[in-house]
């Protein structure tokens, strides 16, 4: 059964939450029409925000043959993900978001259960919740299940890791590349159920470098009124589905018959308003969920008639980039980065806020 009372209640909750946000926004707009009071001080880079052109199309170097990544070919039925479905939360922190101040930014970090080293590196670097003074940030790692042969012993370790850090969200589905869409959707379900007050939600992969100061102050800007339909990242436009089964991002025609994907933010890291996160989840209940998580979010946006907001050129670096302190200081996300490199980069990067020119 695709629809249930749960979904109905979810829909109603969503409507109320977004209604409140919209009311706030309208109020903010109305006050913006009043005679000019003291001007908000916007930094030069951020005031250019809406006019900056889209990131150019990625090169076809992206069509990495599957052989380099895995021997397994995807079959059409694997391209469809079982959703909606009530996957259980096996490790959860329902009260995480109930602190005194509503979170400005909720980080949903995607790792696999076995990636405990990656998580530890992230906790001590960009995932540190206190990293941006005066801004409430929450961090949660979203993960699924170990393959069954690893399950018992590893699951015990995972629960111990969570007891120490209180930051895991484990959901009851097999944690595979093809199930990545489920991870994001379950992260968004957590937002709807436990954290509707989050102003922004970041979905980010574990193998990244994130610059939270830049993301918060230059991209999101706490002094701005809420933006109910905001989502940004590295935006792909006019990308065509790959029809050859041996390519990594193979998309069977029977699953997505169109010739061009709607615009979408590359999956390694994108950030959206909490309100939009809830709307995406609501339409996700009605569209056939596909394994390409970022494309799927793009399909949800299309259904919502929301276009991703272009970001300043190059602040999302998703084809790797050599580390340089003051260069990284002006970027939001770099992908991919190995956890061991992250640790050494961070030791140096900590000096960036005091030694690099500030934007």
Ligand X SMILES: *[C@@H]1O[C@H](CO)[C@@H](O)[C@H](O)[C@H]1NC(C)=O
Task: Go through 280-305 and write b for each residue having 16 or more CB atoms within 10 A of its CB, e for each that does not.
Answer: bbbebbeeebbbbbbbbbbbbbbbee
Which residues here bind ligand X, judged by CB under 6 A? Answer: 78, 131, 173-174, 176, 178-179, 350, 353-354
CA triple 180-126-113, angle to 5 deg: 35
Q: Give the containing element (helix H, strand E) for 43.
A: none
How many helices (H) and strands (E) in the chain? Answer: 11, 10
Q: How far is the CB of 276 from ligand X (least distance, A)?
A: 26
* Residue 54: Cβ within 10 Å count: 14
Q: Which of 114, 176 has the CB closer to ligand X?
A: 176
Spatial distance between the Cα atoms of 152 and 63, rounded to a whole number of angstroms = 37
Q: What are the residues whose beta carbons fall under 8 Å from the beta carbon of 26, sequence distance 6 or more?
A: none
Buried b (16+ CB within 10 A) or exposed e, 99-128: eeebbbbbbbbbbbbebbebbebbbebbbe
Q: Are 138 and 198 in contact (CB under 8 A)?
A: yes
Considering the complex, what minimum distance in angstroms separates the CB of residue 145 from ligand X?
6
The residue whose two tokens read 């500030």 is 358
Please identify which residue in the block is written with the tokens 């065509």.
240
Q: How far is the CB of 131 from ligand X (least distance, A)?
A: 6
Closest to ligand X by CB, 238 vs 359, is 359
State the greatest distance between any 2 C-alpha atoms of the chain, in Å, as a whole number: 67
Strand pairing report for 209-210 and 333-334: antiparallel
| DSSP state for residue 60 in the 8-state scheme | G
Q: In terms of CB distance, is 79 or 271 closer to ligand X? A: 79
Nearer to ligand X, 127 or 233 (CB): 127
Work out how close the CB of 198 gets to ligand X at its nearest, in angstroms, rounded to a whole number. 22
Question: What CA–CA distance (Å, rounded) separates 83 from 288?
Answer: 8
CA 31 to chain centre: 31
| Shorter beta-carbon distance to ligand X: residue 166 or 355 | 355
Beta carbon of residue 355, minimum distance to ligand X (angstroms, whole number): 10
Q: Which is nearer to ligand X, 85 or 319 (CB)?
A: 85
Nearer to ligand X, 236 or 250 (CB): 250
Task: Return the number of the residue (97 or 145) whose C-beta is nearest ligand X.
Answer: 145
CB of 327 to ligand X, least distance (A): 17
Residue 299: CB minimum distance to ligand X, A = 19
Provide, rounded to whole angstroms, the least separation between the CB of residue 186 and ligand X: 11
């Amino acid at each position: 059964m695709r629809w249930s009372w749960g979904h109905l209640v979810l829909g109603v909750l969503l409507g109320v939450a977004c209604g409140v946000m919209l009311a706030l926004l309208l109020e903010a707009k109305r006050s913006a029409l009043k005679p000019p009071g003291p001007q908000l001080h916007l930094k030069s880079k951020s005031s250019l925000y809406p006019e900056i052109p889209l990131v150019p199309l990625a090169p076809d170097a992206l069509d990495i043959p599957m052989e380099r990544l895995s021997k397994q070919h995807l079959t059409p039925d694997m391209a469809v993900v079982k959703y909606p479905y009530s996957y259980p939360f096996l490790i959860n922190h329902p009260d995480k978001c109930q602190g005194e101040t509503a979170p400005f930014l909720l980080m949903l970090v995607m790792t696999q259960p076995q990636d405990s080293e990656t998580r530890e590196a992230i906790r001590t670097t960009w995932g540190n919740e206190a990293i941006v003074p005066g801004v409430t940030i929450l961090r949660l790692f979203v993960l699924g299940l170990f393959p069954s042969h690893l399950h018992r012993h590893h699951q015990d370790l995972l629960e111990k890791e969570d007891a120490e850090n209180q930051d895991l969200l484990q959901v009851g589905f097999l944690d595979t590349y093809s199930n990545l869409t489920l991870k994001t959707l379950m992260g968004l379900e957590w937002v709807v159920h436990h954290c509707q007050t989050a102003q922004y939600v970041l979905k980010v992969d574990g193998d990244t470098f994130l610059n939270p100061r830049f993301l918060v102050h230059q991209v999101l800007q706490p002094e701005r009124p809420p933006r109910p339909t905001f989502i940004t990242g590295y935006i792909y436009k006019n990308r065509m589905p790959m029809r050859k089964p041996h390519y990594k991002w193979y998309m069977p025609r029977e699953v997505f018959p169109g010739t061009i994907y709607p615009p979408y933010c590359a999956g390694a890291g994108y950030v959206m308003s909490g309100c939009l996160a809830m709307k995406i989840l609501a339409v996700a209940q009605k569209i056939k969920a596909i394994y390409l998580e970022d494309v799927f979010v793009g399909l949800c946006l299309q259904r919502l008639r929301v276009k991703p907001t272009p970001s300043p050129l190059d602040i999302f670096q998703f084809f790797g980039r050599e580390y340089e302190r003051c260069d990284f200081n002006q970027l939001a996300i770099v992908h991919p980065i190995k956890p061991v490199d992250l640790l050494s980069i961070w030791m140096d990067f900590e000096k960036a806020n005091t030694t690099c020119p500030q934007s």
